[in-house]
Amino acid sequence: MIRLTGIGASEGISLGKALIYIEDKIDLESMKKSSLSAEAELVKLNDGVTKTKSQLLAIRERVREKLGEDKAAIFDAHIELLEDEDLQDGIKERVTKEGMSAAYAINEGVEETCNILSQLDDAYLRERVSDLRDIAKRWIKNTLGIKIKDLSILEPDTIVVTDDLTPSDTAQLDLEHCVAFITEFGGKTAHSAIMARSLEIPAIVGVKNIIQTVKDGEYLVLDGEKGIIYLSPTEEVIEAYKQKKVNFLKEKEELKKLKDLPATTACGERTVNVWGNIGKPEDVDAVIAAGGEGVGLYRTEFLFMNSDHMPTEEEQYEAYKIVAQKLKGKPVTIRTMDIGGDKELPYLDLPKEMNPFLGYRAIRISLTHKDMFKTQLRAILRASAYGKIKIMYPMVCSINEIRKSNEILKEYMEELDKEGKVYDTNIQVGIMVETPSTAMIAYKFAKEVDFFSIGTNDLTQYFLAVDRGNEKVSGLYSAFNPAVLEAIQRVIDAGHDRGISVSMCGEFAGNKKATEILLGMGLDSFSMSASSILGVKKKIRDTKYEDAKKYRDVILSMNTPEEVIDSLR
Ligand code: PEP
Ligand code: MG
């Protein structure tokens, strides 16, 4: 039995078998000329097509069962792309006339087609480029006899072990059978970890050498809160963890009793809002089930990322409307898309950057892709007729960004007026406070907006110059750092001085160890993954406001993160 530790990213106990999931790097260059006969390569090529087609059909069936015929039909288009006669002929010719290996020829043929497609006027065909590249990857692996691991079809009780999980990997996880995931890289606030919390899948990130240490199929038990993993555990450990799992689930059940009670402090002096963070309309159900009083952050970029094309106004409108309707008048803060950083969009040709978190991201993209921004703002405005929607701009660094965005918003309000479309003419507009520039002069920003929402995930990384997704510096990444705490207090005070409400939607808002401090600081609303709502509500209800303020003063007088963390009660 081996015991490993990492960063606990999503709580819960899991027992299951490891599935090692890593992208195999294939050195295609070395396969340019084949040492086999053209006939032998053609056999491999055709075998590859047959295998790829049968895998795509299996995925199609699975998607049909889970998501319906509509979504499944996408895979018919993929199969058509695979079997396209011109593409096939071009690849075969490369094998027979130029002596290329089947794998190399597939790559060449597909890239040639992609180049043609990407220059066409037809947006639908242009967007097929990423599908075709995806199919080519699978086809090449099948041709070379490399086993393909597919996260959307897993064996029961699978623990996915991987180097890093992108948000799109997380999105296609087979939720019925994946009981946990472990990554070698990444930090607690990387988006894969955030998604794990919202999906309520236990997860541990930043586990050094996990891939070399664990064997495929090996039995594991883990504690997602403490970040502990046992490889091939003894019977005793298995039994102990089975019991812990029972206790964990019992406590969760117990918390449900608080569902309909207000988040009022023990002395009755203050009532705050406890809201949920969501990535897609279906996530609202878990927020409501946990007694969430609204949605403080709707990360709309996941709607963009889970689509193979830029979502149309109608598609976005439908999604936002569903959320507003499900919440029946409770507030929902829709954040305009926050692509960039660790969130990629295959159909939007974003440049590779040295420092993506400091680069072309969020509002910076929206302000330079006006068509995309327009589609989203119109969709949000139209959906605002169905509930209490607020608009929030991400990654704001300067007041000009707010003014420019609001000008554009006003333009579309006027457009909707002319079209006679209904929307909330008093819609509130706020910003994420997640950059030092905004935090430092928050009192100036407060004059420009209706509300602030503090994004501690980014605020922490930018204030401390510590990459939120890099496990090598994860020891330095902490919102309990006195500099970050003082920034939070500063933003809350600045908002209150100007009479606007201040919420927090970064992961810190869902950290029970921070609840008392944040209450003492005067935070109005706490927004978090649905799975954290009840625990934080309990903490608020158990705390006296006077005590929280005194505790806040003690904490803010401290000089080092270690002092703060050591004194957390
Ligand atoms: C944040 O930065 O705290 C935040 C909520 O936004 P995201 O995690 O999506 O960057
Ligand atoms: Mg952020």
Spans of all domains in the chain: 2-23+150-235, 29-144, 267-567
The 3-state DSSP class for residue 223 equals strand
Q: Relative to the CA of 299, which ligand 1 atom is closest?
A: 9
Phi and psi of 290, rounded to 5°? -90, 5
Quick check: CB of 395 below 6 Å from ligand 1?
no
- Supply the DSSP symbol for 121: S
Phi and psi of 253, rounded to 5°? -60, -45
C-alpha 462 to ligand 1 mean position (Å): 12
Quick check: CB of 164 below 6 Å from ligand 1?
no
pLDDT of residue 491: 98
Distances 125 to 104, 129, 316 between C-alpha atoms, Å: 24, 7, 21
The Cα 507–Cα 494 span in angstroms is: 21
**C-alpha closest to that of 294 among 390, 213, 366, 409:** 390
Which residue among 189, 504, 525 is best mutated to probe the pocket of ligand 1, counting the most ligand atoms within 8 A of its Cβ? 189
According to CATH, the topology of domain 29-144 is Enzyme I; Chain A, domain 2 (1.10.274)
In this prediction the pTM is 0.78
pLDDT of residue 195: 78
pLDDT of residue 345: 84
Residues annotated in a binding site for phosphoenolpyruvate: 299, 335, 457-458, 468
Tokens found for residue 123: 């947006």
C-alpha 453 to ligand 1 mean position (Å): 10
Angle at which helices 370-383 and 313-326 cross, to 10°: 30
Q: Report which bound ligand comes closest to the CA of 277.
A: 1
The rounded Cα 147 to chain-centroid distance in angstroms is 27
Place of tokens 């010719």: 93
According to CATH, the topology of domain 2-23+150-235 is Glucose Oxidase; domain 1 (3.50.30)
Quick check: CB of 300 below 6 Å from ligand 1?
no
- Exposed, middle or buried, 25 (CB in 10 Å: 0-12/13-18/19+)? exposed
First vs last Cα of the chain: how many Å apart? 33
Is residue 19 within 8 Å of 158, Cβ to Cβ? yes
The 3-state DSSP class for residue 201 equals coil
Please name the amino acid found at residue 474: S
State which residues of the chain have pLDDT below 50.
Answer: none
Does the active-site annotation cover 505? yes
Do the domains at 2-23+150-235 and 29-144 have one common CATH topology? no
How many other C-beta atoms lie within 10 A of the C-beta of residue 202?
24
Q: DSSP for 66-116?
A: HH-HHHHTHHHHHHHHHT-HHHHHHHHHHHHHH-B-HHHHHHHHHHHHHHH
78, 191, 309, 496: which is the annotated catalytic residue?
191
The Cα 241–Cα 221 span in angstroms is: 7
The Cα 152–Cα 554 span in angstroms is: 49
Residues ≥6 apart with Cβ < 8 Å to 301: 337, 338, 339, 343, 345
The Cα 223–Cα 147 span in angstroms is: 30
pLDDT of residue 226: 94
- Supply the DSSP symbol for 133: H
The rounded Cα 522 to chain-centroid distance in angstroms is 28
pLDDT of residue 25: 76
**C-alpha closest to that of 150 among 179, 168, 175, 172:** 172
The Cα 558–Cα 56 span in angstroms is: 58
Residues ≥6 apart with Cβ < 8 Å to 303: 280, 311, 315, 316, 319, 337
Does the active-site annotation cover 397? no
Q: What is the largest CA-CA distance in the chain?
A: 83
Is residue 491 within 8 Å of 452, Cβ to Cβ? yes
| Residues within 5 Å of ion ligand 2, judged at the Cβ atom | 434, 455, 458
pLDDT of residue 167: 64
Phi and psi of 478, rounded to 5°? -155, 130
The 3-state DSSP class for residue 65 equals helix
C-alpha 338 to ligand 1 mean position (Å): 9
Residues ≥6 apart with Cβ < 8 Å to 468: 187, 189, 190, 357, 457, 458, 460, 461, 477
The Cα 183–Cα 317 span in angstroms is: 35
Task: For domain 267-567, give the CATH number.
Answer: 3.20.20.60
C-alpha 354 to ligand 2 mean position (Å): 19
How many other C-beta atoms lie within 10 A of the C-beta of residue 63?
20
